[in-house]
Structure 1
Amino acid sequence: MAARQKHRGAANAAETAALPFNERVLQEVYELYTEQSNGLVPLAQGLGVHLLSPRKKITVLILGNHSAGKSSFINWYIEEHVQRVGVAIETRGFTFVTSGKHRESLTGHATLHLYPHFKSLQDFRGVSEYLSTEVSTSKQKGFNLVTFIDTPGLVDGDMKYPFEVDSVLQWLGEMADLIFVYFDPMGQALCKRTLNIVERLNKSQGDKIRFYLSKADEAGHETDRQRVMMQIVQELCKRPGLNKCGFEMPTIYIPNANKPSRCLNQIDEVCLTIEKTINQTVQTTLNQLGRDCEVIVNAATQRLMQDCEAGMNNRRAICLGGFLGLLGFFMPATLFLGFILTSIKDETAVALLGADLTGLLHFMCAPLSWCWSLVPHDSQTMVLLLFLFICIVLLLCAWFICRLQQRLSRRERRKLEGCRDYVNDVICSKKKQLYEEYLQQSIGEQHC
Structure 2
Amino acid sequence: MSKAKRVTTSNDVGALATSPNERILRSIHELYERGPGGSNAGSSRGGVGLLDIANDPLLRVKCFKPRKKVNCMIIGNHSAGKSSFINWYIGESVQTTGVAIETRGFTFVTSGRKRETLKGDATFAFYDYLEGVQDMEGLNANIFTEISTSKEKNFSCVDFLDSPGLVDGDMEYPFDVGKVINWLGDHVDLILCFFDPIGQALCKRTMKVIESLNENHADKLAYYMSKADQVEKEHDRQRVLIQITQNLSSRIKNSHAFKLPTVYLPRDDLTVPIPNAIEEVCEDIDRAIRLTVQKNLTSMKEDCTRIGARIEEVIKTNDAHKVDNMKRSMRGITLMIIGWVVMFLSLYIAVKEVCATPVIAHGLRKLLPSAPQLELLLSKEAEVRWLGIKHGGAYALALCLVIYAVITYVKNAVWQLHTLLTKKELAKLQQYQQYITGFMKLREGLYKEYFASLHQSG
TM-score (norm 1): 0.85
Change (3 A) 1:444 1:65: closer
Q: Secondary structure at the match of 2:256?
A: coil
Q: CA deviation at 1:385?
A: 1.7
User: Structure 2 regions of 5+ residues with no counterpart?
Assistant: 9-13, 35-39, 42-47, 357-363, 365-381
Contact 2:109 2:145 in 1 (8 A): yes
Alignment of 1:51-200 (within 5 A): 51-200=63-212
User: Structure 1 regions of 5+ residues with no counterpart?
Assistant: 1-8, 349-369
Residues in 2 aligned to 1:207 and 1:219: alpha-carbon distance in whole angstroms: 29
Q: Secondary structure at the match of 1:67?
A: coil
2:289 corresponds to 1:278: yes
Amino acid in structure 2 at the alignment position of 1:325 = M
Q: Which residue of 2 aligns with 1:327?
A: 338
Q: Which residue of 1 aligns with 2:261?
A: 250
Change (3 A) 1:192 1:444: same
Change (3 A) 1:33 1:243: closer
Residues in 1 aligned to 2:412 and 2:345: alpha-carbon distance in whole angstroms: 21
2:230 corresponds to 1:231: no
Change (3 A) 1:150 1:261: farther
Residues in 2 aligned to 1:189 and 1:261: alpha-carbon distance in whole angstroms: 23
Cα deviation code 1:14-51 (max 9, x no counterpart)? x9996211111111111101103201112211132342
Residues in 2 aligned to 1:74 and 1:305: alpha-carbon distance in whole angstroms: 54
Q: Which residue of 2 aligns with 1:364?
A: none
TM-score (norm 2): 0.84
Q: CA deviation at 1:204?
A: 0.8
Q: Which residue of 2 aligns with 1:352?
A: none
Residues in 1 aligned to 2:234 and 2:349: alpha-carbon distance in whole angstroms: 117
Cα deviation code 1:311-368 (max 9, x no counterpart)? 2222222111121121112123045347769979xxx9xxxxxxxxxxxxxxxxxxxx
Is the deviation greater in 82-91 or in 138-147?
82-91
Change (3 A) 1:147 1:233: same
Contact 1:104 1:136 in 2 (8 A): yes
More helix by share: 1
Q: CA deviation at 1:262?
A: 1.7
Q: Which residue of 2 aligns with 1:306?
A: 317
Contact 2:86 2:95 in 1 (8 A): yes
Q: CA deviation at 1:303?
A: 2.2
Alignment of 1:376-391 (within 5 A): 376-378=388-390, 379-391=392-404
Amino acid in structure 1 at the alignment position of 2:53 = L
Q: Secondary structure at the match of 2:224?
A: strand
Contact 1:236 1:243 in 2 (8 A): no
Task: Give 2:432's match in structure 1, choosing from 392, 400, 419.
Answer: 419
Amino acid in structure 2 at the alignment position of 1:416 = L
Task: Give 1:45's match in structure 2, choosing from 48, 52, 55.
Answer: 55
Q: CA deviation at 1:232?
A: 0.9
CA RMSD of aligned residues (A): 2.6
Q: Which residue of 2 aligns with 1:409?
A: 422
Contact 2:346 2:401 in 1 (8 A): no
Residues in 1 aligned to 2:301 and 2:385: alpha-carbon distance in whole angstroms: 75
Contact 1:67 1:89 in 2 (8 A): no
Amino acid in structure 2 at the alignment position of 1:395 = T
Q: Which residue of 2 aligns with 1:269?
A: 280
Identity of aligned residues (%): 40
In the alignment of these two chains, the number of paired residues is 411
